[in-house]
């Protein structure tokens, strides 16, 4: 019996801080057995990673999946490039946008969906320092409003 539903493994919050995410795409990942076991333990880091098209295929670069503790000689290289599984039509569309419009592909989430490892790739455009400060100011204002509402509810 396959597990049903979505189980979040990791999120790349830094991607939302450093980039404007225009759209997202779900892709499968080609993994080895010990990598899947490490993912099930949640031992993955998406920070400073990106996706790139090489030789007509999409690869996830810079994702650190820690070696499985009980994996002995069958363990994997933690920083190896991993192939992403997307339809050819989606790959051509993404490649066109990355080439022409100055976008980059950034992983935003990694999760299990119906027992299969998936990664959410965001088509992103870099933020300037001004934009980053503006985003932080909006978040802070939102937090202040929520605090004020909570304090009024208690009274």
pLDDT digits (tens, 9 = 90+) for 105-151: 999 999 999 888 899 999 888 878 788 888 888 889 999 999 988 88
In terms of residue numbers, what domain contains 123? 6-127
Residue 44 within any structural domain of the chain: yes
| Total count of domains within the chain | 1
Q: Which domain CATH number covers 88?
A: 2.40.280.10
Residue 58 within any structural domain of the chain: yes
| C-beta pairs of 127-132 under 8 Å, 24+ apart in sequence | 127/17, 127/18, 127/19, 127/20, 131/20, 132/17, 132/18
Residue listed under structure tokens 């490892």 = 117
The tokens for 136 are 């932080």
Residue 54 within any structural domain of the chain: yes
Residue 28 within any structural domain of the chain: yes
Dihedral sign, Cα of residue 36, residue 15, residue 22, residue 124: negative
**pTM of the predicted structure, to 2 decimals:** 0.76
| pLDDT tens-place string over residues 41-87 | 888 888 888 888 888 889 999 888 888 877 777 777 788 899 999 99
């Amino acid at each position: 019996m396959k597990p049903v539903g979505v189980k979040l493994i990791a999120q790349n919050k830094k991607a939302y801080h450093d980039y404007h995410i225009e759209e997202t795409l779900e892709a499968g990942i080609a993994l080895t057995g010990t990598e899947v076991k490490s993912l099930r333990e949640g031992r993955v880091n998406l920070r400073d990673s990106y996706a790139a098209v090489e030789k007509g295929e999409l690869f996830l670069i810079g994702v650190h999946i820690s070696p499985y503790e009980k994996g002995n000689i069958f363990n994997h290289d933690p920083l190896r490039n991993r192939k992403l599984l997307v339809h050819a039509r989606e790959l051509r569309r993404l490649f066109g946008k990355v080439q022409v419009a100055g976008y980059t592909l950034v992983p935003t989430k990694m999760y299990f969906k119906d027992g299969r490892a998936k990664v959410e790739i965001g088509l992103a455009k870099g933020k300037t320092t001004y934009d980053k400060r503006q985003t932080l100011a909006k978040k802070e204002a939102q937090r202040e409003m929520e605090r004020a509402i909570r304090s009024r509810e208690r009274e």
